[in-house]
Structure 1
Amino acid sequence: MSENRVVQGRMVTPKKLAELVEGDSVMEAEAIEDADRDCPDCGGDVISVTYMPSVTELVTGYKCQDCDWRERTDA
Structure 2
Amino acid sequence: MTANRVVQGRMVTAESLAEMIEGEDVMDAESIEDADRECPECGSDVLEVGYMPSVTAFVTGWKCQECDWSDTDRE
What are structure 1's unaligned runs of at least 5 residues? none
Q: Is the 8 A contact 2:61 2:71 kept in 1?
A: yes
Q: Distance in 1 between matches of 2:8 and 2:44?
A: 10
| Distance change in 2, residues 1:41/1:18 (3 Å) | same
Identity %: 65
Matched, 1:43 2:43: yes
Q: Residues 42-61 of structure 1: matches in 2 within 5 Å? A: 42-61=42-61
- Secondary structure of the equivalent of 1:67? coil
CA-based RMSD of the aligned residues comes to 0.9
What are structure 2's unaligned runs of at least 5 residues? none
Q: TM-score, length-normalised on structure 1? A: 0.95
Q: Give 1:3 deviation, angstroms.
A: 1.4
Matched, 1:14 2:14: yes
